[in-house]
Chains A and B, each alone.
Chain A
Amino acid sequence: MTDELKVAVERKPNGAILYTKGYINNVGGEEIAARAYELMDGGVRSLLLNLRETKIVNSIGISILIEIIEKMMEKGGRLSFCCLTPVIQKTFQIMGLAQYAAIFPDEESAVRELTL
């Protein structure tokens, strides 16, 4: 019934891109967090979350993304996002996530800005 979240990782010279596919709920959020924390433990300090294939999120999933942002900020790094649907971007703004993470319209501009 659900779009169980899948996460793929692409390492870049100066960070990594996480590609999500499916619903970011509590389970999906935890899956993203697990992958992000592995990368952070490995020294990655710039992560880009590409949500091109995610069309639905919920507030619990977003709260987990905020936890990842906080952990990354504690380590002096940054988490950024790209390819959000307008409604997901609006939801990020409502929850304050957009104040703490950069949001890019597409992957190319994100990679360029973040020098990944």
Chain B
Amino acid sequence: MTTTAERQMDLTLPMVPDIEIAAARAAGNLARELGLSSEKIDEMTHAIIEACINAREHSGCADGRMYLRFRGSSGADGAPRIDVWITDHGRGFDLDQARSRRRHHEGVSHKRGWGLQIIEAHMDEVDISSSADGTTIHMVKYGEKAI
């Protein structure tokens, strides 16, 4: 793990059960330093948990690791933001197909596969790039402007 003056943190974590909690706690600590509210931190925490679970359960990566980067910064208006990247070196997936599956499986009897929707609902920006070499999800959470 490295931490720079720009408040950047890099983590390499094994894909083991509940490792998402370690990732979420590390990001939460950084977000608290930046002054994000507890509710925004809570939302970010749940999005990170879902992204880590997706990587662990679906990536099929050979190295059994996920690579995380958290970067905290402030905009010109003083509002803090935290950028989160979560990368796996798995087989990748088709985002349109994943979204389409979800649309066709809504309802109480279709219980799994909500991770992406939860991530998008809890974060301010989400961008996913995926190929046969792996997947990176980049998520952004903004804090309130400084008064």
Question: Which A residues fall within an 8 A CB radius of B?
Answer: 1-3, 23, 25, 27, 55-60, 62-63, 66-67, 69-70, 85-87, 90-91, 94-97, 99-100
Complex Cα spacing A99 to B107, Å: 9
Q: In the docked arrangement, what's the CA distance between A35 and B21, Å?
A: 25
Answer whether A87 and B50 are a contact pair too, CB < 8 Å, given A59-B115, A70-B109. no
Residue of B nearest to A64 (CB): B111
Contact of B118 with A1 in the complex, beta carbons under 8 Å? no
In the complex, chain B residues whose CB is within 8 Å of the CB of A86:
39, 42
Contact among A55, A59, A85 with B50 in the assembled complex (CB-CB below 8 Å): A59
Q: Which residues of B contact A (CB under 8 A)?
A: 17-18, 20-22, 24, 39, 42-43, 45-46, 49-50, 53, 106-109, 111-112, 114-115, 117-118, 121-122
Q: How far is the CA of A58 from the CA of B53 in the complex (A)?
A: 9
Question: Are A1 and B18 in contact, CB atoms less than 8 angstroms apart?
Answer: yes
Query: A1 touching B22 by the CB < 8 A rule?
Result: yes
Residues in A neighbouring B112, C-beta threshold 8 A: 59-60, 63
Cβ-closest 5 pairs across A and B: A63-B111, A87-B42, A2-B18, A59-B114, A66-B111
Q: Are B121 and A90 in contact (CB under 8 A)?
A: yes
Give Cα A100 to B111, complex, Å: 13
Known: A1-B21, A58-B50, A59-B53. A91 touches B118 (CB 8 A): yes
B17 — which chain A residues lie within 8 A by C-beta? 25, 27
Contact A100 B39 (CB under 8 A): no
Instruction: Select one of A2, A55, A100 contacting B42, CB under 8 A.
Output: A55
Q: How far is it, in angstroms, between the C-alpha of A99 and the C-alpha of B109 when the chains are bound?
A: 12
Contacting residue for B108 out of A70, A87, A90, CB 8 A: A70
Question: Cβ of A95 and Cβ of B118 under 8 Å apart?
Answer: yes
Query: Can you pick out 17 interface pairs between chain A and chain B where the beta carbons lie within 8 Å of each other?
Result: A1-B18, A23-B18, A55-B42, A56-B24, A56-B46, A58-B46, A59-B50, A59-B118, A66-B108, A69-B108, A86-B39, A87-B42, A94-B117, A95-B114, A95-B118, A96-B106, A96-B108
Query: Taking the nearest CB of chain B, how far is it from the CB of A40, in angstroms?
Result: 18
Q: Bound state CA distance, A56 and B18, in angstroms? A: 12
Which residue of chain A is the closest to B113 with respect to CB atoms?
A59
Indicate whether A94 sits within 8 Å of B46 (C-beta atoms), given known contacts A1-B18, A70-B109. no
